Amino acid sequence: MDIKITADQHIANTYARFPLALVKGQGCTVWDDQGKSYVDFVAGIAVCNLGHAHPALVETISAQAKTLWHVSNLYYTQPQTELAAWLTEHSFADRVFFGNSGAEANEAAIKLARKYFKDNGTPERFRIVSMKQSFHGRTMATLSATGQEKVRKGYDPILEGFDFVPFNDIEDLSCAIGPATCAVMLEPVQGEGGIVVPGKEYLAQVRRLCDEAGCLLIFDEVQTGIGRTGKLFAYEHFGIAPDILTSAKALGNGLPIGAMLATQKVAASFVPGAHASTFGGTPLVTAVALKTLKILTEEGILDQVEEKGSYLRQQLEKLKSKHPIIQEVRGLGLLVGARLNTAGAPIVKECMARGYLINCVQDNILRFIPPLIISKEEIDGMIQCLDEVIKKEQSSDR
Ligand SMILES: *Cc1c(COP(=O)(O)O)cnc(C)c1O
């Protein structure tokens, strides 16, 4: 079977895939079906933070697979309980709801925000202020919350009740919050929107506006969470906390899991029957997620993210001073972007041919989201590759 041809015949055509079939991964390296290796600066889109086939996770999933994969949420299980306890111990939150993806975590957050005000005597508060260029998922509610036309196009009528303001602009947000607003929802650092880091004071100002207006603050940390920015959750950089936070992507290091975290006060509206998910928090997945979090925080990996991230940004800055095609380098921890004055796709393609997987968002922003266990040598190798690729691209342009 030719994987590419058969896939293109039988799988819904929603992904513009590279002509590359991956068969194996180990650490920060993946291999294709021809045996060629690639250093992986995509990591399943900020998912495999501990790399591929981490031995301790292989052991955890194997042991749990022999014990118990799945039972209904009609019953208690130990792995789900331990994971929820760990998450609440290590965050602002008191309660966790488990789903299977980032979109589902955000669905839960949107539902909870609305229900909280219904339960508390202000049913007219149902609107959510969200950000332009944001990304919150592909379900009807989460695409309605997403501030990018390309995600919403073709799906009218979208869900009512979402207002959009520019990210990192406190004046516009202040005007948009009204008596019908139940929550402000945003990514602490915009991911799909192009690795946009807000000004130092912005998130604290957002928190203050929410408090003054009596509405909730929801942080979508699906991409920024689980160590990606150098803290367990990105909100920790900013000296404030949300009322609701969503996590997914790296939480299971590649197993599908999403989680919505909330304070007791808000989570009180999620009573029996208010929300549910068949697969949410299954023992197999939560056992791996718990182990992922323990390895991340107890083996010094989280502590090194800031340093590795600033090293990567420094090296990119050096490339920027050599190549005017790079206009800006930005990011937090190992969530890093390089904005180009040209399309990123040819560069991504050429890096791939040379054994480095990188990614491009918003057409012209190269995104670097390697496993957090990436080494300095692997960063150096990618930078050298990028240097050569940009040189070649520019000489062929002339
Ligand atoms: C990826 C992402 C989502 C959607 O997650 P899925 O698991 O694909 O549903 C939501 N929000 C942010 C910020 C993301 O990066």
pLDDT for residue 1 = 85
Average pLDDT over residues 357-379: 98
State if residue 223 touches ligand 1 by the CB under 6 angstroms criterion: yes
Question: What DSSP string runs through 154-166?
Answer: T-PSPPS-EEEE-
Joined together, the tokens standing for residue 302 give 């989280």
pLDDT for residue 395 = 86
Structure confidence by residue, pLDDT tens digits, 317-347: 999 999 999 999 999 999 999 999 999 999 9
pLDDT for residue 10 = 97
Domain ranges of the chain: 1-40, 56-298
Query: Which protein residue has the closest C-alpha to ligand 1 atom 5?
Result: 102
State if residue 192 touches ligand 1 by the CB under 6 angstroms criterion: yes
pLDDT for residue 64 = 98
Average pLDDT over residues 135-142: 98
- Name the band, by pLDDT with cuts 50, 70 and 90, for residue 396: confident
Average pLDDT over residues 38-67: 98
Q: Ligand 1, from 98, 142, 186, 192: best to mutate by most atoms within 8 Å of Cβ?
A: 192
Nearest residue to 261 (alpha-carbon basis) of 90, 88, 388:
88
For residue 7, give every residue at least 6 positions away whose Cβ sits within 8 Å of its Cβ, in sequence order, or none.
17
Q: Does domain 56-298 have CATH number 3.40.640.10?
A: yes
- Name the band, by pLDDT with cuts 50, 70 and 90, for residue 394: confident
Distance 135 CA to ligand 1 centre (A): 7
Distance 220 CA to ligand 1 centre (A): 8
Question: What DSSP string runs through 248-269?
Answer: -GGGGBTB--EEEEE-HHHHTT
Whether the bond into 157 is cis, omega within 30 of 0: yes
Structure confidence by residue, pLDDT tens digits, 249-263: 999 999 999 999 999
Structure confidence by residue, pLDDT tens digits, 293-320: 999 999 999 999 999 999 999 999 999 9
Structure confidence by residue, pLDDT tens digits, 177-213: 999 999 999 999 999 999 999 999 999 999 999 999 9
State if residue 248 touches ligand 1 by the CB under 6 angstroms criterion: yes
Query: Which protein residue has the closest C-alpha to ligand 1 atom 11?
Result: 136
Distance between CA atoms of 246 and 249, rounded to whole angstroms? 10
Please count the other Cβ atoms lying within 10 Å of the Cβ belonging to residue 194. 17
Average pLDDT over residues 228-245: 98
Average pLDDT over residues 41-67: 98
State if residue 220 touches ligand 1 by the CB under 6 angstroms criterion: yes
Distance 191 CA to ligand 1 centre (A): 9
* 397: pLDDT strictly greater than 90: no
Q: What is the pTM of this model?
A: 0.98
- Name the band, by pLDDT with cuts 50, 70 and 90, for residue 243: very high
Structure confidence by residue, pLDDT tens digits, 70-86: 999 999 999 999 999 99
State if residue 101 touches ligand 1 by the CB under 6 angstroms criterion: yes
Residues belonging to the active site: 135, 220, 249
Token look-up 């501030």 returns 147
Mean pLDDT of the chain: 97
For residue 223, give every residue at least 6 positions away whose Cβ sits within 8 Å of its Cβ, in sequence order, or none.
45, 46, 102, 187, 189, 191, 192, 249, 335
Percent of the chain with pLDDT over 70: 99
State if residue 147 touches ligand 1 by the CB under 6 angstroms criterion: no
